[in-house]
């Protein structure tokens, strides 16, 4: 039986008189790659910020790992990567990783053993001792992803994680996501890139704060006249 890692019931979010999220209900299962697909301004980022606990819903209930959000009890089980890089630019990449590792209660003797496989996989090994202020935008994205992975979270929430990353490395990162899924990690990924949406098992199409459609990727593609997901928005 599928285990619901995330459950949203009639969730709404308003900023003053503007409704950003409108009566959204959905469940996300353990060990799946779930895609939130929609154009800029559709409400994707607001929705995942509520799931993480950064924002509180104006109405409705969000549960993550059976805890009502926001909750400090499960933060150590969540890896989060926002659109904006939360990096210390006057530190090196390695210093950022060690610092965030200690924040997540990883013992010093274990930190490098966690770091080395991640930076190897993300192509950061040669630049890890450079100051982050000298990193390109794509390198900062990769380091932000490494920070989200450092504590081996059971739930990984990523807001457009491959923007600004070249196609070859993007493919490798998606291979990493699929490897994480195999060990039971649940991933939520927002994107507006259709080829990335194709690699999600289930997709929620969202526009103007409302769910247009939700289901298995292959089933949604069959709903479109020419098999293209973007045409479901129209």
| CATH number (domain holding residue 76) | 3.40.50.300
Is the model's pLDDT at 204 over the cut of 90?
yes
pLDDT at 62 over 80: yes
pLDDT for residue 1 is more than 60: no
pLDDT at 5 over 50: yes
Place of tokens 């390695």: 94
Peptide bond before 70: cis, by omega within 30 degrees of 0?
yes
Among 209, 96, 82, 87, smallest CA distance to 157 is for 82
Summarised one tens digit per residue, pLDDT across range 67-123 is 999 888 898 899 999 988 889 999 999 999 999 999 988 998 899 899 999 999 999
Distance CA 150, CA 130 (A): 19
Mean pLDDT of 154-181: 91
pLDDT at 232 over 70: no
Please count the other Cβ atoms lying within 10 Å of the Cβ belonging to residue 164: 14
Cα dihedral value 20, 24, 29, 33, nearest 10:
-40
Q: Containing domain of residue 29, as a range?
A: 4-233
DSSP character at residue 71: -
What domain count does the chain have? 1
Token duo for residue 112: 């490098």
Q: Can you give the pLDDT at residue 26?
A: 95
CB within 8 Å of 54: residues ≥ 6 apart: 70
**What is the reported pLDDT for 196?**
85
Structure tokens at 41: 């301004």
Q: Give the whole-angstrom CA distance, residue 152 versus residue 228.
A: 34
pTM for this entry: 0.90
H or E segment and range at residue 4: strand 4-15
Query: How many alpha carbons lie under 13 Å from residue 232 in its C-beta half-sphere?
Result: 26
Terminal CA-to-CA distance of the chain, rounded, Å? 35
């Amino acid at each position: 039986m599928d285990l619901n890692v995330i459950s949203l019931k009639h969730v709404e979010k308003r900023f003053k008189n503007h409704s950003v999220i409108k009566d959204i209900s959905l469940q996300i299962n353990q060990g799946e790659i779930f895609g939130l697909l929609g154009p800029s301004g559709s409400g994707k980022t607001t929705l995942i910020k509520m799931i993480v606990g950064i924002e509180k819903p104006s109405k409705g209930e969000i549960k993550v790992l059976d805890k009502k959000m926001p909750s400090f009890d499960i933060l150590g089980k969540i890896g989060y990567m926002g659109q904006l890089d939360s990096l210390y630019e006057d530190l090196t990449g390695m210093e950022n990783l060690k610092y965030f590792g200690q924040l997540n209660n990883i013992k010093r003797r274990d930190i490098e053993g966690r770091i080395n496989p991640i930076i190897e996989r993300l192509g950061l090994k040669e630049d890890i001792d450079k100051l982050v202020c000298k990193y390109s935008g794509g390198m900062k994205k990769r380091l932000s992803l490494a920070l989200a992975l450092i504590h081996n979270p059971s739930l990984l929430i990523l807001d457009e994680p491959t923007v600004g990353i070249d196609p070859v490395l993007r493919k490798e990162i998606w291979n990493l996501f699929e490897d994480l899924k195999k060990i039971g990690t649940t991933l939520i990924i927002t994107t507006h890139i259709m080829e990335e949406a194709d690699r999600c098992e289930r997709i929620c199409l969202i526009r103007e704060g409302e769910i247009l459609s939700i289901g298995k990727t292959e089933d949604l593609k069959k709903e479109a006249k020419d098999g293209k997901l973007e045409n479901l928005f129209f």
